[in-house]
Amino acid sequence: MDITLKEYSDFQHFLRRSCGIEIGENKQYLVKNRLASVLREFNLTSFSELLSHLDVNSVSSNRLKSKVIDAMTTNETFWFRDDSQFLALKNELLPELFLQTKGVVKIWSAACSSGQEPYTISMCVEEMTRSIGSPFNVQILGTDISETILNEARTAIYSDMAINRGLESKEYFRKVDAGHQLKSEISRRVRFQQLNLLQSFSGIGRFDVIFCRNVLIYFSDEVKRDILRRLVDALEPGGYLFLSSTESVPMDMMTLSPVRGKQARYFKKVG
């Protein structure tokens, strides 16, 4: 499958417009590799044919667009990724929220992929609850642009390979024919919803803690700033935002104040 410079430019524009992903120049080989199976599934014989279908608004073309975005989205994730942040959540933020909150604590895992991040958060809640010996009402929302990957997350079933990435114990799983299924004490706190980060967050409510890690790096500076602004709007007053350890916020974004906790750095909503 050959891709002309014009076709590649048009595809860059499609990704930027539909999901905000920026792919650099001379990445044609990456696009060809990731989309080869999509072209076969939809019986498309050329990249120009693919682009023409992406321009159409129909049920079949919308399904194609979803498949293309799925293929171009990186779903790299594992349990307790950047574990210092989860230690900060469990040992610093959750105890604070337990003492301050009389109702439900709400946590959002944005770009949650196949579910390891929100389920890891639920494990932290479970461990903290056991340590204090008292019930703690926490609701966790996991969102992703890919409905396909969310359907995997909803099953809460993971292969041996997935289980062995980041987990030291299988205590929260039970063996099933398809692999390892999370016990209900962990999965019951988590629900999943499809969400494109370019869209409004107003329909999902407000949160005490938001995890948005390893995703903003795929956006332009302008889009990144817009998403950060809307993430802040989705936080409750005094709420907390976790980015990855290598990500930062613009210096002039005064609504987020960096917090250097004992275990990790995160951000607090101010003002």
CATH of residue 47's domain is 1.10.155.10
**Residue 1 corresponds to which tokens in the numbers above?**
């499958």
Rounded to whole angstroms, how far apart are CA atoms 70 and 68?
5
Task: Give the model's pLDDT for residue 65.
Answer: 86
Claim to verify: residue 245 and residue 130 sit in the same structural domain: yes
Residues 37 and 117 in one domain: no
| Same domain flag for 40 and 116 | no
> Which is it for the CA torsion 176, 179, 182, 188, positive or negative?
negative
Structure tokens belonging to residue 54? 């992406």
Phi-psi region of 63 (alpha: psi -120 to 50; beta: other; left: phi over 0): alpha
Domain shared by 58 and 165, yes or no: no
- Can you point out the beta strands (E) in the chain? 105-109, 138-144, 157-158, 173-176, 179-182, 190-194, 207-211, 235-242, 256-260, 265-269
Joined tokens for residue 182: 């999370």
In a domain, residue 78? The reply is no
> Is 150 found in the same domain as 20?
no
Q: Kindly list the distances between the CA atom of residue 237 and the CA atoms of 107, 233, 256, in Å, as whole numbers in the listed order.
A: 14, 9, 11
Same domain as 58, residue 125 = no
Q: Which range of residues forms the domain containing residue 61?
A: 5-72
Q: What is the C-alpha separation between 257 and 241, in angstroms, rounded? A: 10
Inside any domain, residue 254? yes
Confidence (pLDDT) at 58 = 63
Q: What confidence score (pLDDT) does residue 212 get?
A: 96
Residue 94, domain member (yes or no): yes
Residue 32 lies in a domain: yes
Would residue 87 count as lying in a domain? yes
Same domain, 226 and 94: yes
Number of domains in the chain: 2
Adjacency order of strands within the sheet including 190-194: 190-194, 138-144, 105-109, 207-211, 235-242, 265-269, 256-260
User: Do 9 and 67 have their domain in common?
Assistant: yes
The domain boundary, picked from 18, 46, 72, lies at 72
Are 118 and 34 found together in one domain?
no
Is there a contact between 149 and 75 (Cβ–Cβ < 8 Å)?
yes
Closest CA to 69 of 99, 109, 34: 34
Q: Does the reported pTM lie above 0.85?
A: yes
pLDDT in tens, 85-140: 999 999 999 999 998 877 899 999 999 999 999 999 999 999 999 988 888 899 99
Asked whether residue 263 falls in the same domain as residue 133, the answer is: yes
Q: What's the burial of 25, exposed, middle or buried (CB within 10 Å: 0-12/13-18/19+)?
A: exposed
Q: How many residues does the chain have?
A: 271
Neighbours of 153 (CB within 10 A): 25
Residues of the chain scoring pLDDT < 50: none
| One domain, residues 45 and 108 | no
- State phi, psi for 115 to the nearest 5 degrees: 100, -5
Do 130 and 12 lie in a common domain?
Answer: no
- Structural domain contains residue 77: no
CATH number at 217 reads 3.40.50.150
